[in-house]
Structure 1
Amino acid sequence: MEAIITATELADALTGPNPPVLLDVRWQLTSPGAPPFDGRAAYAEGHLPGAVFVDLDGELASAPGENGRHPLPDLAVFGAAMRRAGVSAGRPVVVYDGGLGWSAARAWWLLRWTGHPDVRVLDGGLPSWEGVLSTDVATPVQGDFEPAPDPAGLLDADGAAALARSGVLLDARAGERYRGEVEPIDRVGGHIPGAVSAPTVENVGPDGRFLPAAELQGRFKGLGAVQGAAVGVYCGSGVSAAHEVLALAVAGIPAALYVGSWSEWTADPSRPVAVGPDPQ
């Protein structure tokens, strides 16, 4: 199953016999102390016709705490939100955001991890859409999706540490955060010992769309992530890392997500921290 869809392909799918459910997951990371980004207000100003707004902080994550800034959502809350949005197991889903792709990828990952068979991300997000936008609030028919998680797709802190030693653990954050030169959000800078720096922003072109699959395969091969290898990804709070898992999927490489990521890892001062450009 393809992981992404172009705007042209989406326009065609929406006129087909089984049009996809559309989820608008606009969200932005803001600096500490700054007002949070209001995705619901952005949705109200204009969205894909029929799309339903999904709140990342309230429906795709639990409250921040010792398990990180965006821990896994309560599955009952997540499932209810998806059903309210019209998500059913027998109907495809397309998720999009404002163009960065991170929050859409978080929704994509959660739906795939919990068993939905057909979910894709709009490549390039809302800016790639050339059709009309709507200001109407969608009222979809209640869906029937029931989350059924796959344990194989999820890493905890111990699993991430083990994978950094035995497989390939990619750090999707900016290189300066990986190296420990700056840390604007979490308790301390640096990376999980053994993790490889792989900023997710390098998986897309200037237009925000993913690089071709062959280019992504080449990039990940250079980082040690190839088909058949055990691969995992983390970031600051499990959002941009989902975007890297999506890029890996485009390249045909399955990967697990450490949802707690660096914000959970550094919440425990006893966990080791590496700094500098080298994994160790």
Structure 2
Amino acid sequence: MPPLNVLYQDEHLVAVHKPSGLLVHRSALARGETDFLLQRLRNQLGRRVYPVHRLDRPTSGVMVLALSSAVAGRLSEAFSERQVEKRYLAVVRGKAPERERLDYPLREEDGTRPKSEMPAMPTMTDIRRLDSVELPVQVDRYPVARYSLVEARPLTGRRHQIRRHLSRRGYPIIGDAKHGKSVHNRFFAEQLSAPRLLLAATHLAFDHPLFDKRVQLNCALDDTMVALFDHLGWAGHLPLDSVRTPPPTTPTALETL
């Protein structure tokens, strides 16, 4: 099993590229699974790691984890208080709007209670169309098929928020078995060699919980999405796999974790 690609690491936190299809941790909804990001990374680093946010199993991209429970608490608070800048790339059906804020309220999907018992919560996602393509093939009922490359910036953190917002707006993400359309998913899987959810977390930025600096994490797309972007003429939108952060500084006087 290949090691996870570490994008950033210091004595308090680590960021990795989570592959599509890899569960972050054990879940009651995925009994019988034996491969998890937490276990892999713990074995790779030889120490315990603590998750502070989540990515859906089929979503790939940058994920940050703490190396102590105290740092995990600080980072989790930053995520919950919307102090983390997040950027995703998604391939969607149709020609998406040039720019729009989606604010459909969403019910939490935790699998423990009927949806009717879950209150609808306010949510916001900013989307921007980066590119689009029209293919001369009949995938659905129309003689041509249109798809868009969308940048999504979630301003809140509900489960499946980007997937549900784009689907609700009429532009489901390709490869989304739950919120998408199977005929387009099959077309990308069988004709374009892209059998996965085409959603990737490409950027995270946040204030370091202990150092006086801003951490900016950028994550490359996986081979499947890179090949697809090349095929569709979107190579100019490929993100770089890099970290831009000022040189390390002395920890602030207060916390010793």
Structure with the higher fraction of residues in strand conformation: 2
Structure with the higher fraction of residues in helix conformation: 1
With the length of structure 2 as denominator, give the TM-score of the two structures: 0.29
Which gives a bigger RCO, structure 1 or 2 (Cα 8 Å, sep 6+)?
Answer: 1
With the length of structure 1 as denominator, give the TM-score of the two structures: 0.27
